[in-house]
Amino acid sequence: MAAGRGAELLRPLTSSGRATFLELFFDLAFVVALTRVSQRFAGLGDDAGWALVTGFGRTLLLFLALWLIWSHTAWITSRYEPEQPLIQAVVVGTMFAGLIMAVTLPRAMEERALPFTAAYLMVMLVRPLVVAAALRGHPRRLVPFRLAVWASASAPLWLAGALGPDRLRLPLWAAALALDYLAWTLGWPLPWLGASKVGRWRIAGTHLADRYQQVFLIALGESILVIGVVFSGTDYSAERAAAFTVAFTTSALLWRIYFHRAGLLLTDALDRAAMPGRLGAVSERTHLLIVLSVLVTAVGYELVIDHPFGQPRPGWLLFVVGGPMLFLVARLRLEHEVFGRLSRSRIIGLVALLLCTPALARWTPMAGLSVVAGVLTLVALLDALRSRGRPPELPASPIGRGATDVSDSEA
């Protein structure tokens, strides 16, 4: 009886599997968070050397903390029925915590460290306990229980970083975040209970694909917001207008390259996978890189539109060229995950950007962004030529091929 009552929270087989309006509402907080991450990255444009490295590392850590919150929530709504009032309350509560993290993020490494940490731990520690209690006697209650135990292990590091000296915050939080990601990778193993790796979970593959595609579009939307806000200043010179146009073209090319065709067929790939959880877990890491690459590229837009023909600086090369290069690497991963191959067009694009980088370090920011847009255009054209006259491809993911779904009662 208890297991039956707890089972009401699980996604039924008749569920549509599509993302809900509740999750789109949740994403609004993540939009704010990504904007704050982008602003922190943009503040590094004038830095160089060790200051650039440490500044980038601090912002990257905050982004990875936010990503862990978002990805955990995506998996929760892929496993549990989002129409259940308790799950809706959990998602809305997570949204509020995410919004707190977003508004404190610009100074999260300084005087707002404690509220940022408190919001993060509220999600990582309290949320799984609520879900475990609601599942009552159902075997799956052990999964959120594992999450809570591991979160309690990293919590002292988070709190020590927030309350301790500023110089120790970065190493303590880096250790705490590494522990949280290690737990996610290993499946939160506990003595006598073993592990529960996400690759073995029963999930709604269609739903997870929807969420990954949506978070990419959210990141792309944030880049469009950056383009519009920066260009809407008082200076409407022809140089800035040209930079605005090239930046928008670059974003459009990122959209095209992502969805042709692996990004578009991710849903089918997860539906066809023998173990969708395994493919979903691998794809989660890929989309982390994709979202990060779009954010970094958006910072490059801001730097170029502000000073299209300014003096080249070490910081701008990291964003203008480094962001698109990371995107192509992540898109290579996605191509392999969906089709089991490496994309020649993306390899060509990566090689072209690598060869151009030494020269771009001496050119103006506008020239660098124009070269990036030209290389991405080449990638998109090669994609179009490859698919021209051919029937639509079907996904052929090599991940979990030949495997059967697990019988683990906690899956």
Query: DSSP readout, 170-216?
Result: HHHHHHHHHHHHHHHHHT--BTTTB---GGGS---HHHHHHHHHHHH
Residue with tokens 């050119």: 363
Domains of the chain: which residue ranges?
2-196, 205-387
Cα(293)–Cα(311) distance, integer angstroms: 24
Phi-psi region of 408 (alpha: psi -120 to 50; beta: other; left: phi over 0): beta
Cα(239)–Cα(226) distance, integer angstroms: 17
Cα(96)–Cα(94) distance, integer angstroms: 5
**Residue 135 backbone dihedrals phi, psi, to 5 degrees:** -75, -15
How far does CA 292 lie from the centroid of its chain?
A: 6
pLDDT of res. 1: 37
CATH architecture classification, 205-387: Up-down Bundle (1.20)
pLDDT of res. 2: 41
Cα(185)–Cα(62) distance, integer angstroms: 19
**pTM score of the predicted model:** 0.96
pLDDT of res. 234: 64
Cβ-contact 206, 17 below 8 angstroms: yes
| Both structure tokens of 147 | 């999450």
pLDDT of res. 4: 53
pLDDT of res. 404: 54
E-strand spans in 210-345? none
**Residue 407 backbone dihedrals phi, psi, to 5 degrees:** -100, 5
Tell the burial category of 293 from Cβ atoms under 10 Å away from its Cβ (0-12, 13-18, 19+). Answer: buried
First to last CA, the chain: 20
Please list, in sequence order, all residues whose beta carbon lies within 8 angstroms of the beta carbon of residue 337, skipping any fewer than 6 positions away: 262, 269, 279, 282, 283, 286, 397, 399
Cα(314)–Cα(303) distance, integer angstroms: 12
Full pLDDT tens readout for the chain, 411 residues = 344 557 889 988 777 678 899 999 999 999 999 999 999 999 988 888 888 999 999 999 999 999 999 999 999 999 999 989 999 999 999 999 999 999 999 999 999 999 999 999 999 999 999 999 999 888 899 999 999 999 999 999 999 999 999 999 999 999 999 999 999 999 999 999 999 989 889 888 889 999 999 999 999 999 999 999 999 976 789 999 999 999 999 999 999 999 999 999 999 999 888 889 999 999 999 999 999 999 999 999 999 999 999 888 878 999 999 999 999 999 999 999 999 999 999 999 999 999 999 999 999 999 999 999 999 999 999 999 999 888 888 899 999 765 555 544 566
pLDDT of res. 406: 52
Q: Which of 21, 117, 23 lies closest to 61, judged by CA?
A: 117
For the chain, how big is the Rg over CA atoms in Å?
A: 22
Cβ-contact 374, 247 below 8 angstroms: no
Tell the burial category of 262 from Cβ atoms under 10 Å away from its Cβ (0-12, 13-18, 19+). Answer: buried
| Both structure tokens of 225 | 């917001």
pLDDT of res. 15: 75
CA distances from 148 to 32, 136, 152, 155, 160 (A): 27, 16, 6, 10, 19
pLDDT of res. 45: 81
| Both structure tokens of 192 | 């006598």
